[in-house]
Structure 1
């Protein structure tokens, strides 16, 4: 699913994947099957390299927790197909609960700048102005590297760490050293570099994962479907002694817990700089609770019922209107 220049991998891409191992021709050992499974999943996700925790979860399921033995185990075609299906299902389920947000860089964004002379001139001028911190009308050739970093993924330039060919392109065009360039010279040097980056990405697009989390209520729905887990959570939240309530109502106690630990349950972190999150919390847990103030907190079943209702409201809201939050790397 794509939105606003970003692609959201939520597992839907894997639901229709052919789970038949390719060209086995007979038995295959577990290690080879895992290579095939990872390749098939990555291909279905536009070349995305799976995060280690997803691969580990899939391997653990497929190997039943004994990956050392599984790597040496011979599997017939039927067994291999079954294990491949398990691997894909684990990844799909994990992405449904915790989608990955990424940018697919294929050179198209850069080509838009390059195909319009006015757009490119404005881009080059803005970059030059931003980098000319001394305001002397000159930049060193080596500042081209900073210009590319300044453009970043939003403008179609991948990070140096994920696209090493950037260094080769810079060297090829002599964009190094302390020689100084005026604005026009800077633009003349930048243009062929961006063109070569665009061509390289067109031939081999890369996927850059963004530090954005999507909260869609999936984890909350799993919690609500597990009565034992939900009851354990209620026991964790509810005060053990009557005098610990301090006259607080049930919703106040639950709200205090969710504002502190809600992300562990699949709730977006309550942040003053994210209006959508603030509105979500206020719609489910209004700040104005005067009519509840001082109402004794009921025990066990009553508290569990209140918690269930609040979490269900959050899950319904997030399912209808998922929330995305930028997180620290």
Structure 2
């Protein structure tokens, strides 16, 4: 198949592109960064350089393709994330219909329904298209963004991967994680490699209509996560402390997030604590991926030093 992969050479898109090329597919990788063109071509893929917010460009990039992997990059410089996501999704719909693509994988997140980002209206516009919607949980790689805070550089708002719809946390000066969910709250973590593997598997699996697939690598409590991370970096005392929604909101505002965005993030995170997101996840509970947190922290610890 001729497959378009969005997401440049990100943590999911790069291993996905490599897997698809190895399977014999012809892959086009979309990136907004011209500097990525050479690396994309070295993988054996075609590079298409442009912005996903440009409907004309997206339509041209999808023309001639049989299938597509579609994700929406989070842009925290934009206050209205909902409008940003809708614009890119509208561009995808236009491009898919124009190209006559019949097999699509959409990457959303495990809180997609709870966060009010249901894909129902999108799917109504794609009648006859066979879709897999991947809903990954909280990315292991989000912890890389926390390194300075884990080194004890104070408490600031953390922005961590839109795909997870929220592991949003504050780090205390002694290295504790702090958020409006924590303690013994159950969470699900996922390795980008396991998401890429799931996406590659979906392209090889017949689907009729729309299929929802949650993706996770390990289920733990927040304190178990803190203990594993802490032990890896020489802070075995590390805990994940839960604070109030109000305190979390104040932290985001202090970090400079637009008020509307901060409020929506706090609301989504509260849905982890109260179990709403996990209830939906449990209804579609997946076979867990191969990469566990203890595997990830070995690499994390090397970069933390």
TM-score, normalisation: structure 2 = 0.26
Flag the structure with higher strand content: 2
TM-score, normalisation: structure 1 = 0.25
Flag the structure with higher helix content: 1
Instruction: Please tell me whether Structure 1 or Structure 2 has the larger radius of gyration of its CA atoms.
Output: 1
